[in-house]
Structure 1
């Protein structure tokens, strides 16, 4: 069954809010650089809710600059603890502790923190669940 969802602009706003809230609690504060290829609307290839694949997902990723390499593990720990305190479901943590994947609750946005390059800096991303661009299923074209 295809229920109404948030709209594409609402999903983008929530993606940006999740990233901003996570970055705001980090010490030291990183400088964000948008990862350009992440500025996209993707296809809903694997709907977790059993709904239509005709929906879209919204994704944004940022490079986190100005965190000294020796502080990356500490910052990753801050992020994990913050997400746990928010009640998010932690799906996994990489062996080196620099990668953390989680899902926001109750809205099920995918969040990821990962080491970039040779572990020189971190990347932070958020992806929406599948949404209808206008919040409601498109009317069926069969007449």
Structure 2
């Protein structure tokens, strides 16, 4: 029997919470602009996780707008420090410091800050694999 997960709606709420909490810690505070390509949830699965059929990953990416160009590096550092303070696991940081990968605790959601062009940043979060309704769909037995 598969273990229940959070629902798609709960995963989206957590993704948005992670993004909004990060942004609220930044100065100057950027304006969030959703990346429209991130509005679709994706299938979950890999060759290791055979039980993932029917599960999805919920994620959202945002452009961080209205950060002065001379503040980009400082904002990236603030993101990294905020994530460290929250106890998130920093998995990687680029040489420039403007691309950072982390995982939230205790729920293991992926967080990412990415350089966008020469003078922009993007912030995203994605869930672990979840059942859209929190449990597997019942299978019909003929």
Task: Specify if TM > 0.5.
Answer: yes
Match of 1:108, SS?
coil
Please state how far the C-alpha of 1:141 moved relative to its aligned partner.
2.9
| Residue equivalent to 1:127 | 126
Please state how far the C-alpha of 1:40 moved relative to its aligned partner.
1.2
| Residue equivalent to 1:52 | 52
* Change over 3 Å in CA distance of 1:50–1:108 after alignment to 2: farther
| C-alpha RMSD of the superposition | 1.7
Q: Please tell me whether residue 112 in structure 1 is matched to residue 93 in structure 2.
A: no
TM-score normalised per structure 1: 0.93
| Residue equivalent to 1:141 | 140
| Residue equivalent to 2:21 | 21
| Residue equivalent to 1:84 | 84
For structure 2, the residue ranges without an aligned partner over 5 or more in a row are none
- Tell me the alpha carbon deviations over residues 64-100 of structure 1, each in whole angstroms, 9 at most, x when there is no partner: 0111111111111111111111111111001110011
For structure 1, the residue ranges without an aligned partner over 5 or more in a row are none
- Tell me the alpha carbon deviations over residues 4-56 of structure 1, each in whole angstroms, 9 at most, x when there is no partner: 00000000000000000000000001011110010111000239877423200
* Change over 3 Å in CA distance of 1:141–1:36 after alignment to 2: same
* Number of corresponding residues: 142
